[in-house]
Structure 1
Amino acid sequence: MWNMKNYLFLITIALSLNLCSCEKDKLTEDKTPKFQPIEFVKIGGIDQVISVKGNDLSKPVLLILHGGPGYAMLPLFHMKLSELENHFIIVNWDQRGAGRSYSDDIDVSSMTLNQSISDAHELTIKLKNKFNKDKIYLLGHSWGTVLGIELIKDYPQDYSAYIGVGQVVNVIKNEQHSYAFALNQATTHNNSFGINELVSVGAPNNDGEYLNDKGYEITNKWMEFYGGSIFGQTSSDEVTDLILSDDIYADYKDQWSKGVNFSQQLFDDPNVWSFDFSRTHLDLSLPVYFFMGNHDYDTPFTLVEQYYNTLKAPRKQLVWFENSAHFPFYEERGKFISELIKLSDL
């Protein structure tokens, strides 16, 4: 016979089932991690900013080292390559003195190659601990590839693989090749104004020095003008504009620009001008992949190809992007995504 006790029993069962269902839903939701747009992390004694994106904490961590120096790009991979977040935990980092990590209080004397490497490795250890990983993946772009090669040489135990995009091999040879390309293109196109500007600064000597301090600016201008930075375009401004359109930088554009200028202090470090990976880093103990645009004259592809041919590594691959120059992750993002996903299960 049904009585009040029976009804109370049924209500109790219903509530229990509903509670279990809620707990199950909560667990399902929790599988997709929630990250803040940016995080401030103490690195090398100062606050620096990272942005973490990813849909599965079981996936490998990929730390991205931006170029420049000072060319901070926290939101770019999320804006243009978000599919990678299904395969990696993507960590973008504004390096010391760059982007949201810029501060008027940073000691200029700390802007050195060795400090940059130390910062990157300290962040590596923090990420390994945070996400409970034995190793992480490392991707460097342009200037970031200088840090990347040094890191995998000195700390191979911390990294699963290295991807160099727009790999730098030797800064001085890099500058000489960029200048030669710019002058050749200006001559081919009968650009008397460009020729005169380039001749006025002279070709960089074996110390990387021009006749005057406008040499780097003028070489870069004409190298970009002839598609050496973005294939088929006269500058890379569209990438910068996209980066700065995101909320992360929208109210910090002045800070971003200050960071670019401040980061040029790194070129005062003699170590930046003296390294030559084609002589000193020929034997690396983990997989190495170079993603190179076939029209890259910012970090000239010929130097990378020569380095690759002499490099020894457990596994290596040179991936060409036929319709790209210095920004294949922007210029050919579909291919870039597919090539990077192939490496996610190493």
Structure 2
Amino acid sequence: MQKQLKPTFKMYILIAILCFVFAELQTAATETDTTQIIEIGGIKQYISISGEAPGKPVLFYLHGGPGTAVSAHKDVVTGELEKYFTVVHWDQRGSGKTLKQNETAPPPTFDQMNKDAEEILHFICKRFTTDKIIVLANSWGTLPALHLAQYYPEKIRALIAVSPVVSNLRSQQTTLELLQHYFNMQENGKAIQQLAAVKVPYSGAEQMLIQYRWESVYNGELMSDDQFDQLLGYFQHWEKMWFPLYSELYKSDLETSSGSIKCPVYFIVGKKDLTTYFKITESYFYKLEAPEKKLFWLEDVGHNIPGFATDKMQKTIISDIVPRLNLSGTNK
């Protein structure tokens, strides 16, 4: 009769190590988390790719700003979406890790950013051997995203526009008038005095911040003088790179330039968004022609949805938009 071997402590340790290694190999086989530096628009640009399983449909995230890349905290912004998609984040020209690769590059133009987005779109389709991708864009990022949807609808399974910029000029004018009326009624002398100095189009970053300050107060979020001064330093630094491009946005009005898009379009909008005034967004949405479209409202939410309401944004996409996309689980 063969003698039965009793497991020793060392054998238990070896089994535990083998199990751990096997689990790690399984995870490596089913998860994607990588970064790349690629040549786009004649410069080196940074992308990151994340997802829980290869072969999932590809979702391309276009961040806002301009100039505020989110790839450094992508797990917060799109972490839940990685269960359903392979998520590609791109640090746009002049932003994040792309800026670190090209610190002496000239300030971007609107036309150049659109061309960069086109190159990235073609790169993603080739990289993942896919015919169509989902585009998720926030604020400023909705402008290059809408450009892609207009010129390459055959490559866009759906456009999800969060806090879209319909008309910078009309939004700011409408909001300024609303704030001036409100604070006059409130007899708030400080707000009245500061808002009287704001002119649309803005002449600089300080006027932008003044209006944003009183938008925040109107929505119930106080901003102290110290907080204002700290933010002003950031906005003045941002202004050096981005204000020329930001000024270009005043020439853009989607209601007169983008009446029809030949791919499904979904808007996610905050009911308290005064930065891209929500009623102007709503008006454009109902005029927009698309094969399928739907507007999703987020209650008690302002403009910066990925920053302050990312859970609501991702839940809306997963619960209400994913079922509409008829995804097969592959990237084809």
TM-score range, shorter chain: 0.7 to 0.9
| Residue range with higher mean Cα deviation, 63-72 or 175-184 | 175-184
Shift of 1:107: 2.2
C-alpha separation in 2, matches of 1:199 and 1:24: 66
Q: Paired residue for 1:344?
A: 322
Aligned CA distance change for structure 1 residues 161 and 88 (closer, same or farther; 3 Å): same
User: What is the SS of the residue equivalent to 1:35?
Assistant: strand
Alignment of 1:146-165 (within 5 A): 146-165=143-162
Aligned-residue Cα RMSD (Å) equals 2.9
Is 1:222 the counterpart of 2:214? The answer is yes
Residue identity in the other structure for 2:317:
L
Q: Aligned residue for 2:164?
A: 167
Partner of residue 94, structure 1? 91
Q: Which residue, out of 259, 263, 267, partners 2:242?
A: 263
Give the match for residue 106 of structure 2.
107
> 1:322 Cα deviation (Å)?
0.7
- Identity rate of aligned residues, in percent? 29
5+ residue gaps, structure 1? 1-20, 236-253
Output one character per residue of 1:11-39: Cα deviation in whole Å (capped at 9) or x when no partner: xxxxxxxxxx9x99787444323423x43
Normalised by the size of structure 1, how large is the TM-score? 0.76
> Does residue 1:131 correspond to 2:117, yes or no?
no
Q: 325, 328, 337: which is aligned to 2:305?
A: 328
Structure 1 Cα separation of the partners of residues 98 and 178 of structure 2: 34
- For this pair of structures, how many residues does the alignment match? 295
Determine if contact 1:54/1:90 at 8 Å carries over to the other structure.
yes
Once residues 255 and 276 of structure 1 are traced to their aligned partners in structure 2, the CA distance between those partners, rounded to angstroms, is: 28
TM-score of the pair, normalised by structure 2: 0.79
Provide the residue aligned with 1:84 in structure 2: 81
Of 274, 295, 298, the match for 1:318: 295
Distance in 2 (CA, whole Å) between partners of 1:218 and 1:316 is: 35
Inter-CA distance 140–303: structure 2 relative to 1 (3 Å threshold): same
Note the 1:13-162 alignment, pairs <5 A. 28-36=26-34, 38-102=35-99, 103-108=102-107, 111-162=108-159
Corresponding position of 1:233: 221
Matched, 1:289 2:266: yes
- Cα pair 1:99 1:260 within 8 Å, conserved: no
CA separation in 2, counterparts of 1:188 and 1:343? 41
Task: Write the deviation string for residues 52-93 of structure 1: whole angstroms up to 9, x where unpaired.
Answer: 211112211111111111122113341254221100111221
Q: For residues 155 and 181 of structure 2, what CA distance do their matches in structure 1 show?
A: 43
Contact 2:32 2:54 in 1 (8 A): no
